Each structure stands twice: as C-alpha cells, then as structure tokens.
Amino acid sequence: MSADRIPVAILGATGLVGQHMIRILADHPWFRIGELAASDASTGHVYRDVARWALASELPADIAGMAVKASHGGFESTLVLSALPSEPARREEPRLARMGSVVCSNASAFRMDPDVPLLVPDVNPGALSLTAGQPWATAGGALITNPNCTVAGLAPVMAAMEAHWGIESATTVTLQAMSGAGIDGLSALSMAGNVIPFIPGEEEKIGAESSKILGRDIPMAVTVNRVPVADGHLAHLFLRLGKPAHPRVVEEALRSVTPAPPARDLPTIPSRTLQVLSPTDRPQPRLDVQAGNGMKVSVGRIRRVPGYDIALTVLVHNLVRGAAGACIANAELAVAAGVFTREGKRGRSGEQGA
Amino acid sequence: MSADRIPVAILGATGLVGQHMIRILADHPWFRIGELAASDASTGHVYRDVARWALASELPADIAGMAVKASHGGFESTLVLSALPSEPARREEPRLARMGSVVCSNASAFRMDPDVPLLVPDVNPGALSLTAGQPWATAGGALITNPNCTVAGLAPVMAAMEAHWGIESATTVTLQAMSGAGIDGLSALSMAGNVIPFIPGEEEKIGAESSKILGRDIPMAVTVNRVPVADGHLAHLFLRLGKPAHPRVVEEALRSVTPAPPARDLPTIPSRTLQVLSPTDRPQPRLDVQAGNGMKVSVGRIRRVPGYDIALTVLVHNLVRGAAGACIANAELAVAAGVFTREGKRGRSGEQGA
Amino acid sequence: MSADRIPVAILGATGLVGQHMIRILADHPWFRIGELAASDASTGHVYRDVARWALASELPADIAGMAVKASHGGFESTLVLSALPSEPARREEPRLARMGSVVCSNASAFRMDPDVPLLVPDVNPGALSLTAGQPWATAGGALITNPNCTVAGLAPVMAAMEAHWGIESATTVTLQAMSGAGIDGLSALSMAGNVIPFIPGEEEKIGAESSKILGRDIPMAVTVNRVPVADGHLAHLFLRLGKPAHPRVVEEALRSVTPAPPARDLPTIPSRTLQVLSPTDRPQPRLDVQAGNGMKVSVGRIRRVPGYDIALTVLVHNLVRGAAGACIANAELAVAAGVFTREGKRGRSGEQGA
Amino acid sequence: MSADRIPVAILGATGLVGQHMIRILADHPWFRIGELAASDASTGHVYRDVARWALASELPADIAGMAVKASHGGFESTLVLSALPSEPARREEPRLARMGSVVCSNASAFRMDPDVPLLVPDVNPGALSLTAGQPWATAGGALITNPNCTVAGLAPVMAAMEAHWGIESATTVTLQAMSGAGIDGLSALSMAGNVIPFIPGEEEKIGAESSKILGRDIPMAVTVNRVPVADGHLAHLFLRLGKPAHPRVVEEALRSVTPAPPARDLPTIPSRTLQVLSPTDRPQPRLDVQAGNGMKVSVGRIRRVPGYDIALTVLVHNLVRGAAGACIANAELAVAAGVFTREGKRGRSGEQGA
C-alpha cells in the first residue's frame, strides 16, 4: 500500500458500523484512516478506551491509540465516512459538505432527498451525478448515501429483475440480524430463542429506498422480523413481473450480474455482485454471510409460486454490504469518478472559496 | 376427575408430540391414558426408560412406570391418539380403524384423503361427518386427522377472513420452531444463530391443507423458514380478499371468533380461539406461545400493505394447538358428536362385524 | 382463597422479580396484592402501561389495571415485598420498617448486616429471630432478606453437607442465566452464542452470603459466568469435608432433606427442598428449572474427584427459588412465626409509637 | 507458495476437523492437499458432494472437485493428517505408519500409549523423539498425536505455571462449544438456551492427557459442560502451586511464553502462544476465539482466590489450536525435525524394508 493513500475521517467511529469501517480500511489500497470522530463523551480519549471493540478480528494496533475527535468539529481529511445516527448526521453532514468535504454517509437522514445520491456502485452508479446539483458542489463538497442494510441486498437483485423483466410489484418478508440494531440495541432476554416481528421505521425505508434506487415507484409490501442471528439479513422476495420468467433463466440472469466500469475496478466491489446458490436450503446466514468478504449478496430458492412470477431468497451482510462496505465502496466510486479529488475541486475546504 | 374416564391409547408415545399428549392427558376430565405404544425398540420396556422426556414439566409418576406396547399390535382402548410418523401411520391407522377403533391422528399420511376429516373443532366441525362414509364405519371405526402444525394456526384466521370477506389468494412466510422437527430432527451447530430457509415437504402441505379445511382451492404462495426458537410457529399472512376490509373491522372480527357448539364445550378448546394483540411487536413466540395453555392462536400486526387487502401475523404453539392438543380436541369432538361411544357402534372391534 | 387474605405491597413491581412476585401471588392462599410500587417514572400510571410484562404466563387481569405507587411513599399494606435495586432499597426499606412494616427484601443492601436475617425458611428459619433486635422492632417493623439467587441454590445443599460432614472449604463455578441481569441488563449481541466469564460483584456475594447462612466462615473460591440461558443458575461445587463421604450416602442425605416446621407448612415451600437427579447429564436448565414450580433446587453429578471429598452440581431457578419465591416464602415464615401479625405489634405504622 | 510443497493425505476429511484442515492447508507454505479420504460411504465421490461444508469460509474450488479415497486404503502421500474417529483411527493409523507414513493424528486412540508423542510444538517438542522407539521407525513411519481440544488450551498455560512455580494440584471447570461434538453431534432442541453438564469420556481425558504432557501425574479435578457456543472452549483453572505466585508475576510469565526453536519457525505456530487479556470479563468465545487465526490461547481473570495460589481462565479454539491446527503444527514439526523427510527414511513405504 502506497504511503500516499487518501486519508479519510470516520464519523461515528465507535459504533458497530464504524468498527467495520476501521476493520476494512486497515488493509485498504486507496484509503487510510486519518481521523476518528464520535460523540462528545468519547472526544479527547484514545480510541481503544472508548470503543467497546465488538468484532472477532483484532482492533488494529495503530488505530487503537488514535485520539477521538468530536463529530461536530472540523477535519483535515476532506473525504468523510459517516456512520452517525440519523439525528447528528442531519446536523453534521451538510455542514461538512458545505466546507468542501465529500461525505459518504450510511445514515438515513438524507437518503430520500432528491438531490442526494442513494448509491450502490454496482447497481446505479449514475446516481452519483446528482452531486453536481448539490448546493455545496461549488465548494467541492458532496453528500452521498448508501441504502438501508436490507435494501443493499435487495437492490442488486431487484435491479437485475427490473432490467430483464420489469417489476410490477414486490412483496418481501425479512429476517434481520441483531447487529442491525447496534451494539446495545436489543436486550438479550428479549431476543434469546425468540422472534420479534417488527423493527421501528424499517418497513417504510425498505419500500421507499428500493423505489428510489430502481428509479420508479414500485408497489412493495414489507414485513420485517428481528431474529436471533448475529450478522446477515435474509429477505424472501415475491415478484410480479412485466413478462413471464422461467426460474432457470432468472438464475442465469442473476449469476451473470457483473459490475460495470467504473464499479468493476473498485477495491471493495467483488467481481460478481451476486452468489447464486442451488441447494434448496440456502442461503443461510451462518454459511453464506461472509461470501466475498461480506460484499457478495447471496440468492437462492429461485422458483415459481402461485400468484407470482417468481420467488427468491436474498441474504446480505448487513454491516458490510449493507453498511460499512457500502459506504466505503461509495467513497471509492467518488474517487474513481472524480467527484473527490485529492487537490479539491474549486476550492475544497473553502480556502479559495467565494 | 371421574374414575370412569375413557381410556385412550397413545401411538408414538415417546416422541415430542406423544409427550405433550401425555402431559395434557395427565389432567384430562374425560380421558385417561390406557396404553402407550411406540416402535419395536421401545416395546416391552417401561416408559421412563425409553422416552427421553424432553418437557420442562415433570413426567407424571403414574405414567413413568407404564409398559410400552408395540404400535403394530392391538389395543384394549378403542379410542386411539396417533403421534406416529407418516410411514407407520399409513400402516397402523387403517388397521386399527378397521378393527373398530376411532383413531385421531396427527400424522400427515391420510390428511388429504377425500373421506378423511382434516378437522379443527372450532373451525370446521362439520368435517367430522365424513367418517360416516369411511370403509370401517360399519365396524365402528373412524379415522380423523388434524392439520399440519402451521395450518393449525392459519386455519382459524383464514376461516374467519373467508367467512367475512372471501379470500382470493394468500401469501405466507413462516418462521417455524425447532421442536417441529422432533427431538433429534436438527443439529445444534446448524441451527445456532442461524436461519434455514427451507423445510422438506412443508410448503406443499401448508397450501394443500389450508384449501381442504376452507373447502375450496385458494391460490397460496408459501415460503418457510426454520428459526432458532424452541416452540411456536410464526406465520406472516398477506391476503387478497373478495371485498375491502378495514384493519379495525378485521381485528374486531377476529376478536369475536368463538367456538360454536359442540366445540364450545370441549375441554381442550379455549373459550376464544384467537388472542388478538395490539402492540406492533407482537405476537412473539417467547411471550405468546403459551396463551390459553398453548391452544389459543395469537394474531397481530393487522394492517394494510400495498398490493393486498390485509396483512397479519399469526402465532401457533406447534406442539399443542398444532399437534397434541389438536389431536386430543378431535378425540373430544368424536366423543361429543357420538362418533366414538364407549360401548362401540355396530360392533366395534369387529366382534359382530359384517 | 378467602377474602381476608393479607394485602401485601410489592416494591419494584415492574422488574422481572416484581413480575414473578405478581405471578406467584395471583394464586396465593394467604396473600393478595394490595399495592404495587415502582420508580417515579411509573408512578401514577396503570401497571400494564408501565411494566413491560416479560413472562410467558399472562399478566393477571385484575393486576393489569392497578395504579402504580411511588416506592418512596407510604403504603396501607404493612407487609412489604421489596424487589428494589440495591440503592433505593437502602433508602426505602429501613424507612418502611421504622414505620412498622415487615419488609421482606430481595435486595442485597442489608443482607450482610448483623441484625438482619439472611433467611431461607427450609434452611435457617432460626435466623428470623434476629428481627427482635432490630431498631424498629418496638414499632412492629422488621427487615428480612433472602440471599443472592445463586446462594439460594447452594445454601440448602451446603447446609445439608455441613450438618452431616462439616465443610472445610468450597470451590464453585457458576453458569448463570441472563434473567439474573434483569430485563435489559445484557445486550443481545454480546450474549448470543457467547459466554461472559464475569458478573460484577457476584463472586464476593456468593462467598459472603453462603458463610452467613451456614453460620461460620467457610473458605470459598468462586468463579462466575453468564451463559445464554434464559432462567436457571447452574453451580458446580467441589467440597472438602470434615470426614469422608461416600457419594451414595451423600445422595441419600440430600434426597431426604425435608423442611422442618414451620417451613414445612408454608405454601411456597415444597415438601422436599431438593430434587436429586441420577442421570449423568443432569441437572439441565431447560429440563429441570421448573421443578417444584421453580422452588425445588436440583442436584446431580454427585461423585468423587481428585483433591476433594465430593463434587456435585446444583441448579436453581434464579427468579423463583432465587428471588421472588424466596422473598414470598420469607413473608410466609414471618406470618407463621408471628413476626408479622395482621393487627400489628405494639403499634405498627407508628401511630401509637414507643 | 512453491510448486514442490509436500503433498499430505487427510483422513476423515469430511468432518469438521477435516474441513478445518482443508481450510488451513489451502494457504499453507509447506504443504498441499494431495489426497482426501473418508469412510466408505463417501469413497469414490467428489468431495463437494459428500462433505457438508460447514464453515463460513468458502470450500476452496480446487479441493471441491477432488475424488475422495477410502481411509482404509493406501496413499501416495507419506505425510498423513488423521481426523478420524477413535475406532477407525485405531485400525488405520498403525497400518499406515507400518507402511512408512508419518501419521499426525487428532484421534484419541493412541494418545496415552507410552511410545506415542502427545505433542504440542510450543509446549513439549521433545516428545517427538519418542517416534524413534516406535515399531515402525525402521520403515520410516511414525505416529504422532495432539491432545484433546481442551487440553490443547490448558497445556501451554499449565506448562508455564509448572516451569515457574510447580503445580501441586489443579481443578478445572470447562464450558465447551458445540462444534466439539461434530457436525451432527448434538440436537438443536437439547442445546438451545441450555447447558448440559456432562460430555461422555471428556473429564477422564483432560486429567490424563494434561499429566502426560506435563510429564508427571498431577491430581486434577475436572467438570465439563456443553454450552450453546459455536466455537471456543473456556476452562476455569484453580491451581495449588509449589510456591506462592503473585497474579502480576503470573501475568508477566504467561505474556512472555514464546515458542522455542524449532517450534518458533513453524508456519502454524504463532509468535506468542498466549494472549493475556486484562479486562475482567475476558476471554470470551465471541471476541477472542479467533486470536492468532485460532492458534493463540487466550488467558484472563488471573487472580488469587481462597484455597488456591492462583485462578485463571483459558480459552482455546477447539477446532483450530485444539484439533486441525494442532495436527498440522505437529506435521510441521515432524518436517522441521527431520522425522519426516521428503525422500523417506530408511525406506519409507516399505519398498526396501526388512
């Protein structure tokens, strides 16, 4: 890795998504961690002392000793990865974009804003062009979002189905992992040996974000469940299509989903977006969530069922393809597409601004 | 409990369903356990030595010491509860009916036979009359089945919806408990922290049996999952109806589902079939599976979703309302309706046969 | 149940221990729930609205609608069950005792005070006499505590061993259930498929309280673990004894542990304190925790191991025998022994003070 | 990796230990997989079709298509890794050694034989010299075993304690992961939310093998538990020592345990054997089992407790350091020490034998 990797700032660095960002960036060919930021309670402390590292892989030694900055402060790095909760994201992200930073955000705060890309590099890379119309574009800033963790899994599958057959309507039931609720989001006693058939706000997001990525309103019925699985959201999808689709042909179409350039050349995007599994009892979180280092979406159980043209089952690593990896891939695309340049664009950080 | 309770024979007494039958009958006002039967490996041994008792409630002391008979033998009790697997059920159940026994079976072997009732006392008690046309009717014998564990939960809900609004089509995704696979049916390592999105043969049964109980073919799309929950199958149901239904009205209709006589007076049938729950995160297996001693079906999340007239979530105790309790309730109905009489009907046991 | 059951006030009624107290008292022959109290946030609300009922059995309908009082207020009931956390317990319990109430507490705050009984009715009923020396005795008040949930299981076993063989030293390793940490005490992600080899403050309590109950300092090495089990603390115990003990004789001695009067006649105390299990793989939380409605302590694996006179394994329902049931049994003993009288003793409530 | 890596045969290749061997060898600098063998049922089939691959990492593509041989047959590879169950191991391992193969076995069959090394390269490398006295030594064959999965974790810790302070006696209570029982070894329903306080044969092995590795009989009291954890055996250890030990000094001694040559230079042996953790709630399986790619043993909770000189808690990855990795490391040592040579020793394979 070259010494001149681009420094990035991670906001919300102590949470689970922030931890996965750190894990992925420890070995990244283009980026290095320049700054870590979190809430005021952590500010000024050393990272290892305030982050309750929750991953099975070790906290990289060089990151452990970094001082944590305040998310509401300024950063030397003008490439920013935000793992902030929605509320602080709403405050800090536009502020930093206005100062000329390119902010890649995992937060839901601005995902549905018309001029904000809801971007998946190997699905809708063109959405990135929305940044040109953002108010802070002249300052060199940009705000780019990745979708909700479940939508990150549904999007590449639905986009392929839409492209080949057109989707008339979709029904999905999800079985979502505990890590989607954060380190302390769920009580052990309530989840052990149990299913909770509801997650606040989740069903609305899945419908709305899927439509935004596909570029048109698709009627979508959604029911979500929290299940006692650590990582990996499973989604059963029933589709009505514009024309008939044979399961074998669908399987073939999904197997051949390949990232187009420039997504094809991004370090975090796998050579194939989807892993199509033939055994009738797959995908399973335990066996398949790590496919492609967590960046491949798994698909199985492709079949016809009464009342629909096709049914299938999707599995996504909610914290990697669904969050940290998605956000990093978006930053990679911003670099590859020239939205972010090392020198800044038209005076990033406002030094030469208006 | 009176001394002249009707003796019943339990076939397949060592499995999980048989154990629940024993648990329920320990306190039953009409029935007492007359005989226990299991496979040859257990025959001749004392029950406690061959059954690996797997319930949290204690094995009743008076049952523990009973000798286990062979399922393929004869029984003094002419009221028989069968918790046999499908294959031995196919052999033994008609044999016993032919000998004049009233066999209430939890097995899937004969459920779809046109002259065999697929019976839920508080849903379709009229199906019992099919027994009059069975070949062994003249011998006083009868064969009655209860539905698959998931269908046992769906049936009362779907029947109420069908009665009020007519069902055009149904889509269901289930999250099924491990106990549905029997004591040793699943490996610990494969289930822990995992979801398995398939159960052999299950999806077909759910569609077919639901239609048989409702009395007409209803197009039904089904996807099933095994989840790491001990007891309690959850089913999300999306319905298209013959006419519009407001969620509040549906809720009211489901709340008022009340067993009609004679089901109303059966000891194992609760005074209300359904427990309708208002909180958005219910029903949950951990909290709701024991409702009505496991015989009440719980319903929640009644709402409109795009593309359907109504969505709702159903929870059933798969081993009680879905198996042991269902079978016992059918035996109660057989007694209440005179299909079983203590004295036998037209020569039970074939003494005076044709 | 007679109409003149003694009304009791439950403090800390919304927590898990309080919920079990409510569940047990719903059917209690001597007591009825007179008042419910909790922290200020709950005060003035109806119980069902502020308690997140977490038990599989239903919240009794007549309790659901009761208004919740403030734990720091006064109560009409002069028999008080306290499920308060340690800090508020330290404030409120002496206050109520001073006002003439008999307070039976599950809190750890006063357990080790020399003049406070650390009482298990079927182990050390004589400890109750300490109440006569309490400062509020003249006002008719008393403060009685039950031990830590794990000690509640160890105490009857260790007391029997001490009585027959004398204990020279003890070593215990516990595997404790999640419910011991309260409804929200542990995060789901940290417990799922994991063991946490530490519980703050627990190891000290186990040693100290065991010694207090046995009446002399016994050297005790303790290591505790939190395991992903819902209810039921398992404790492996290695003992050095004053004289040799054969496992068969130990088993016999433990089987014959029988509550002496007056404990024998208390509604919540089982006829035998211990359930001794012979199979080598018992006791197990899933199978044995409900023994005696959660009030029987299970013992198994009684055997010799190198370096000790005897090893054995103990299981206790941490919320019943280890908390709610223990506290209620203490209240029963207080009534049976005349420490609590309906009329009050020398002016309960202080109206006619010293 | 050089093209002339040594080919190894894996016996019992379809089980969990065999799968981990395959996973580790996929990237091994010295070895490549030459042959795979399993029971007759698998013989002649392609590996992917008969192994139910149970690891989260993908089955290497070049291995997936290999034909599976019979364990009772002959092999071209004269370096053999055996993951056989005990019974076939007893038959096949001496047979192959007699034919001149160097067999590194994970099986328990011969571990306690006086002339068979029970070897841990970074603990007792000298044990390897026992092979010189084996009956098949002249044929160039050897039989080397690694210890039981739990002992693999205890051994480096106990060896360090023995070296510095001398161990007078040891007491251990283990909490063992489900994967120790193999893919199908435990039923899901029996393990979910449960602890099973017994594992057949395990307690005896732990005592005997620990003593053999340490080189003298150490009185050891052992109680084992199966807990619902996927991977990672935890062992709480209480030691009486020959002289007093301060916890800080023990911590320092354990931190500095470093493999001596030749173990130091083996690819699978980490640079430090132990990971000593300071937080009071560590080690935890979920967080620490992957340390050093599963080859580092974690130690924590080093402290004094009444009646012992020191207590501590050990965590070992039961399938890596405790099985597959241990076996591979032994093969590495056999190569490094010249017990295995590529050319064979005194006529491996018996071509020139007596």
The three-state DSSP-derived secondary structure of B71-119 is CCCCCCCCEEEECCCHHHHHHHHHHHHHCCCEEEECCCCCCCCCCCCEC
Whether A132 is in a domain gets the answer yes
Asked if D290's CB is within 8 angstroms of A57's CB, the reply is: yes
- D164-193: average pLDDT: 97
pLDDT tens digits along D298-314: 999 999 999 999 999 99
Amino acid at A99: M
Write the residue in B181, B185, B188 that is nearest to D191 by C-beta: B188
Query: How high is the mean pLDDT of chain C?
Result: 95
Residue D285 has pLDDT above 70, yes or no: yes
List, in sequence order, the alpha helices (H) in D55-85: 61-64
Q: How far is A193 from chain D (nearest CA, A)?
A: 7
Distance CA D9, CA A223 (A): 50
Residue A352, pLDDT above cutoff 80 = no
pLDDT confidence bin for B343, thresholds 50/70/90: confident
Q: List chain C residues with CB under 8 Å of A189.
A: 54, 178-179, 181, 183-186, 230
pLDDT band for position D176 (50/70/90)? very high
Do D292 and D178 sit in the same domain of this protein? yes
What is chain D's length? 354
Residue D233 has φ and ψ, to the nearest 5°, of -95, 130
Neighbours of chain A (3+ CB pairs under 8 A): B, C, D
Nearest CB partner across the interface for B230, out of D178, D183, D193 = D193
Q: Does one domain contain both C81 and C155?
A: no
Residue B99 has pLDDT above 60, yes or no: yes
If asked whether residues C208 and C226 sit together in one domain, one would say yes
ipTM, interface predicted TM-score of the complex: 0.94
Pick among B195, B218, B220, B237 to test the A interface (most A CBs inside 10 A):
B195
HSE, CB side, 13 Å, CA atoms: give it for residue A314. 30
Task: Give the residue from A52, A176, A189 with the most C CB atoms within 10 Å of its CB, the best one to mutate.
Answer: A189
Token pair for residue C28?
């209690």
Do the domain assignments include residue B165? yes
H-type alpha helices, chain A: 16-25, 47-50, 61-64, 86-98, 149-165, 188-191, 202-214, 247-255, 285-288, 325-336
One domain, residues C24 and C10? yes
Using the beta-carbon criterion (under 8 Å), do C56 and B192 form an inter-chain contact?
Answer: no
The partner residue sitting opposite D236, judged by closest CB among C223, C282, C308, is C223
**Residue located via tokens 């977490």:** C54
Nearest to B227 by CA among A153, D177, A286: A286
Q: What is the pLDDT of residue B344?
A: 67
Tokens for C338? 């005349």
Q: What is the pLDDT, as a whole number, of residue B351?
A: 41
- Supply B205's token pair: 């049964």
Residue of A nearest to D231 (CA): A56
Within a domain: D1? no
Residue that is written with structure tokens 């001082």 in the block: A67
pLDDT at B2 > cutoff 90? no
Partners of B285 on chain A (C-beta within 8 Å) are 193-195
> What is the average pLDDT across B301-326?
98
In this prediction, residue B346 carries a pLDDT of 45
Q: Which amino acid makes up residue C90?
A: R
- Residue A347 has a pLDDT of 45
Residue B28 has pLDDT above 80, yes or no: yes
Q: Write out chain C residues lying below 8 Å of A187, CB-based.
A: 183-188
Q: C344 pLDDT band (50/70/90 cuts)? A: low
**From the candidates B20, B28, B104, B149, which is the catalytic residue?**
B149
- Mean pLDDT (whole number) for A283-304: 98
Q: Look at residue A1 and tell me if it is in a domain.
A: no
d(Cα D101, Cα D78) in Å, to the nearest integer?
A: 4
Closest-CA distance of chain C to residue D234, Å: 8
| B278/chain C closest Cα distance in angstroms | 13
pLDDT band at A354, cuts 50/70/90?
Answer: very low
Do C111 and C220 fall within a single domain? Answer: no
Q: With CB atoms and an 8 Å threshold, state whether A195 touches B284.
A: yes
Residues in A closer than 8 angstroms to B308, CB to CB, are 171, 221
In tens, the pLDDT along D101-152 reads 999 999 999 999 999 999 999 999 999 999 999 999 999 999 999 999 999 9
Enumerate the β-bridge partners of residue B190: none
pLDDT of residue D347: 45
Co-location of B177 and B34 in the same domain: no
From the CA of B332, how many Å to the nearest CA of chain A?
32
Report pLDDT for C343.
Answer: 77
Pair of tokens at residue B209:
């049996």
CB contact under 8 A, A197 and B236: yes
C197 vs D313: CB contact, 8 Å cut-off? Answer: yes
Which of B169, B194, B300 is closest, CB to CB, to A286?
B194
Which residues of A are marked as active site? 149, 233
Residue A108, domain member (yes or no): yes
Across the interface, whether the CB atoms of D183 and B178 are under 8 A apart is answered: no
| B311-320, C259-268, D152-161, range with the lowest pLDDT | C259-268
| pLDDT tens by residue, B319-334 | 999 999 999 999 999 9
Same domain, yes or no, for D200 and D88? Answer: no
DSSP-assigned beta bridge partners for residue D223: D173
**Same domain flag for C120 and C175:** no
The length of chain A is 354
Confidence of residue B345 (pLDDT cuts 50, 70, 90): low
Q: Is the pLDDT of residue D17 over 80?
A: yes
Residue B1 counted as domain residue: no
| Domain presence at residue C58 | yes
Q: Do B192 and D191 touch (CB under 8 A)?
A: yes
pLDDT band at A41 (very low <50, low <70, confident <90, very high): very high
Comparison of pLDDT for C347 and D3, the residue scoring more: D3
Q: Are residues C143 and C160 both part of a single domain?
A: no
Query: Residue C217 CA to chain centroid, in angstroms?
Result: 21
Residues from chain B contacting residue C59 (CB–CB below 8 Å): none
Active-site residue identified among C20, C28, C104, C233: C233
What's the Rg (C-alpha) of chain D? 20
Side chain identity at A185, as an amino acid letter? G
pLDDT at A336 over 50: yes
pLDDT at C148 over 70: yes
What's D107's DSSP letter? -
A208, A125: one domain: no
pLDDT of residue D342: 81
Interchain CB distance below 8 Å, B185 and D187: yes
**Residues D153, D157, D163: CA angle, nearest 5 degrees:** 145
| Torsion from C-alpha of A44, A50, A55, A58, nearest 10 degrees | 60
Q: How large is the C-alpha radius of gyration of chain C? A: 20
Q: What is the mean pLDDT of chain D?
A: 95
Choose, from B20, B28, B104, B233, the residue flagged as catalytic: B233
B neighbours by CB contacts (3+ pairs under 8 Å): A, C, D
Which amino acid is it at A222? V
Report whether pLDDT(B83) > 50. yes
Of D193, D238, D311, the CB nearest to C228: D193
What is residue B132's predicted lDDT score, i.e. its pLDDT? Answer: 97
- The number of folded domains in chain A is 2
Within a domain: C258? yes
Of B178, B184, B189, nearest to D183 by CB-CB distance is B189
Does residue A16 sit in the same domain as residue A134?
A: yes
Q: Which residues in chain D are contacts of C236 at CB distance < 8 A?
A: 173, 197, 223, 225
What the block records as the tokens of B146 is: 């209860």
Chains B, C: CB pairs < 8 Å: 21
* Contact predicate A284/A233, CB 8 Å: no
pLDDT at A351 over 60: no
Mutate to test the interface with C, among D227, D240, D299, D304 (most CBs of C within 10 A): D227
Residues B137 and B171 in one domain: no
The nearest CA of chain C is from the CA of D324 a distance in Å of 22
Q: Does residue A270 have a pLDDT over 70?
A: yes
Collapse the DSSP code of D350 into the 3-class scheme (helix H, G, I; strand E, B; otherwise coil) and give the result.
helix
φ and ψ at residue B240, rounded to 5 degrees: -105, 130
- C181-202: average pLDDT: 97
Q: Is the pLDDT of residue C350 over 70?
A: no
Please state, in angstroms and rounded to a whole number, the distance separating the CA atoms of residues A41 and A64.
17
pTM of the predicted structure, to 2 decimals: 0.96
Question: How large is the angle between the packed helices A149-165 and A202-214, nearest 10 degrees?
Answer: 40
Range of the domain at B13: 6-147+324-350
Say how far apart CA A242 and CA D153 lie, in whole Å: 60
Outline where chain D has alpha helix (H). 16-25, 47-50, 61-64, 86-98, 149-165, 188-191, 202-214, 247-255, 285-288, 325-336
User: Are residues C183 and A189, on separate chains, in Cβ contact within 8 Å?
Assistant: yes
pLDDT of residue D344: 67
Q: What is the per-residue pLDDT for D21?
A: 98
* pLDDT value at residue A345: 53
Confidence of residue A3 (pLDDT cuts 50, 70, 90): low
β C79-82/B220-226 pair status: unpaired
> What pLDDT is recorded for position B218?
96
What CATH number does the domain containing B296 carry? 3.30.360.10
| Predicted pLDDT at B118 | 98
Cβ neighbours of residue D230 under 8 Å, at least 6 residues apart?
B189, B192, B193, C193, D177, D178, D179, D285
CATH classification of the domain holding C111: 3.40.50.720
Give the best residue of C227, C298, C301 to mutate against chain D (max D CB count within 10 A). Answer: C227
